[in-house]
Structure 1
Amino acid sequence: MASTALLKKIWFITGASSGLGLSMALSALRAGHRVIGTGRNIEKAAAEHPEFAQLGGQWLQLDVSQPGAERTIQDIVNLEEQRFSTRNEQPHWVAVNNAGATLIGAVEDMSDNQIQQYLQTNVLGFIRVWKALLPTLRRNRTGTLISISSIFGFVPKAEHMLYSAVKATTESLTESYATLLEPFGIKTMIVEPGGFRTPFAGNNSKSDGGISADYESKMQAWIGIIDAAQRDDMMLTGDPVKFGHRVVDAVESQGLFESLWAKHDKSKALRILLGTDCYSLFKERVEDLQQGYIDMAEVAHSANVDE
């Protein structure tokens, strides 16, 4: 039987209708949490994944790219808060920003309209969720803020440059929020997955202006890899079920995360690396940054005012 602490948690997960979002939702439900999962076509999601409702999950029709999304979220939050208030309880909300998509191509090959639409979902959509939920988390003096990023948010990927850029942006915003939210008992996490066996790789869009000839060789080679992974997910090493379990463990400070949270400075976001491919790329990037830091020592000091 789920504990009282678990029953007080409400997971709000955007983009819960497929992939890693669905995996998190099902793991949280099976652990005894309440889950509100959003999607742009919840009738389709409900038909394809009946287990979500069978486990007690609630679908919410939501497109975070629309300005009205904030109001929709606030309405459902108010209903949940009222339900808990009758029991004199303050729920622990787990706000998971997961909705988004990847985009292949160089920004110079994308129209202004395509770029603006992409930013609406992948940056402004993130912010709308925060604006709707964070006042409640602060008022309750408890909660968890989770940003689902990508290893490409820390390790820039030329073929996914705008995707990398928006993930880097949301990571920086999340890290900034961690400092503000820690005094209110709110934990903050950034989850960076590598390649997982979900439909995500195949659900990409491409630059609407085509591909500049100078970049075609590199772009087409990567598109070939993406297409191959879509046909054969055995190329990917990440298990989405385990992904969901690890995120639940992180929220509950249990399993591998018990000792990690015990020594972590909670005024900083906990950066979670999931997948050996992700871990390897992260290591290479950190080593590059470390070498750059060492090499720039003399240059940095050379710009000081002469004493």
Structure 2
Amino acid sequence: MAMSALCAGHRVIGTGRNVEKASSEHPEFAQLGGQWLQLDVSLPDAEQAIQEIVALEEQRFSTETEPLHWVVVNNAGATLLGAVEDMSENQIQQYLQTNLFGFIRVWKALLPTLRRNRTGTLVSISSIWGFVPKPEHMLYSAAKATTESLTESYATLLEPFGIRTMIVEPGGFRTPFAANNSKSDGGISADYEPRIQAWIDIVDAASRDKTMVNGDPAKFGDRVVEAVENQGFFESIWAEHDKSKALRVLLGTDCYSLFERRLGTLQQGYIDMAEVAISTNVDQ
């Protein structure tokens, strides 16, 4: 995403817990004009750190006649494999600090600026597993589902201020994401072991062989930038979209097929509950 945005002529501030490691692994980011910011969103002081960089950027561009259009991309997080009952309270809390509270800290730091400028784009990087519950990494699914719901709520609040909101739901992409996983610190309950271990084996195999999935990270970045710029596929999509609702961006054929099956299940449940729903009304 960052490289696609830089190549499209945008200014990009990239954040990370270890900027030295990130910059050494991706020297092209700085070469193209990207700026690094040391930031660990899991820490309570992350909000203050973001506010400081926002203030510096606003001052730098204070002579511009047009307000800055900030594009806020929430992409921090990793997967956690296992059932929650096999995780310690500490592991659960630490996981949510990044995958949920980190999201919220970024919003709290930046949304006042977007509202003041009356323009901006909010991009929440979720996962198809945020819409389709995955028991083998249920806390990851739960965290993503929560951020999706919060993002949808914000879409309605932010639309009057000229701010668009997107939820990006990727399937499998050839990135280090699979390798950047952790597992329940309490092991695996025997009853769940066959199913959870089978999924762990798949994830570990994907971490060694990225060709197990078909998603191209460069094309992922291009699609997100096109969505922000209202270009390419998204020119007609945005034209017909109710901007008081978050735009769901489905990336990957695996994501698309899983999304379809989940919709079918929900639709059938909706139909089955028709008489049940009205059966609880007060008798007239």
Q: How far apart, in 2, do the equivalents of 1:143 and 1:192 lie?
A: 20
**Counterpart code for 2:52:** D
Which residue number in structure 2 is paired with residue 173 of structure 1? 150
2:222 is matched with which residue?
245
Q: What is the DSSP-based 3-state SS (H/G/I as helix, E as strand, rest coil) of the residue aligned with 1:85?
A: coil
Query: Where does residue 103 of structure 2 map in the other structure?
Result: 126
Aligned residue number for residue 7 of structure 1: none
What whole-Å deviation, never above 9, does each CA across 1:114-171 have from its counterpart, x for those lacking one?
0001111111100000000000000000000000000000000000100000000000
Q: Which consecutive unaligned segments of at least 5 residues does structure 1 have?
A: 1-23
Pick aligned residue for 2:198 from 198, 221, 227: 221
1:232 aligns with 2:222: no
CA distance in 1, matches of 2:65, 2:258: 47
- 2: distance between equivalents of 1:212 and 1:253? 48
1:288 and 1:238 map into 2 onto residues whose CA distance is 26
Q: Equivalent of 2:79, from 78, 94, 102?
A: 102
Question: 2:27 pairs with 50, 60, 67, which one?
Answer: 50
Q: Which amino acid aligns with 2:157?
A: L
TM-score normalized with structure 2 length:
0.99
Q: Give SS of 1:34's match.
A: coil
Alignment of 1:154-165 (within 5 A): 154-165=131-142
Q: Does 1:147 align with 2:102?
A: no
Aligned pairs for 1:1-307 within 5 A: 24-307=1-284
Deviation at residue 234 of structure 1 after TM alignment: 1.2
Per the alignment, residue 14 of structure 1 pairs with: none
| Mapped partners of 2:208, 2:57: distance in 1 | 41
Give the C-alpha shift of residue 86 in structure 1.
2.4
Q: How many angstroms apart in 2 are the aligned matches of 1:261 and 1:67?
A: 35
- 1:285: how far off? 0.2
One-letter code of the match for 2:244? S
| Distance in 1, Cα, partners of 2:158 & 2:27 | 36
Q: CA deviation at 1:275?
A: 0.2
Offset at residue 284 of structure 1 (A): 0.2
| Maintained 8 Å contact 1:81/1:90 | no
Deviating 4+ runs (over 4 angstroms): none
Aligned to 1:13: none
Q: CA contact under 8 A between 1:156 and 1:164: conserved in structure 2?
A: yes
Matching residue's letter, 2:216? D
1:56-93 Cα offsets, whole Å, 9 max, x none, are 00000000000000000000000000111123331100
Partner-residue secondary structure (3-state), 2:136: helix
Q: Which runs of 5+ in 2 are unaligned?
A: none
Using the alignment, how far apart are the partners of 1:86 and 1:254 within structure 2? 28
Q: In percent, how many aligned pairs have the same letter?
A: 82
Amino acid at match of 1:27: S
Asked if 2 retains the 8 angstrom alpha-carbon contact of 1:148 and 1:191, the reply is yes
Provide the secondary structure at the position in 2 that maps to 1:80.
Answer: helix
Q: Which amino acid aligns with 2:14?
A: G
SS at match of 2:280: coil
Report the CA distance between 1:232 and its aligned residue. Answer: 1.5
Amino acid paired to 1:85:
S
Q: What are the Cα deviations for residues 101-123 of structure 1, in whole angstroms up to 9, with x where unaligned?
A: 10000000000000001111111
Whole-Å separation in 1 of the counterparts to 2:219 and 2:204: 24
Instruction: Give SS of 2:102's match.
Output: helix
Instruction: Specify the SS of the correspondent of 2:192.
Output: helix
CA contact (8 A) 1:195 1:236 kept: yes
3-state SS, counterpart of residue 271 of structure 1: strand
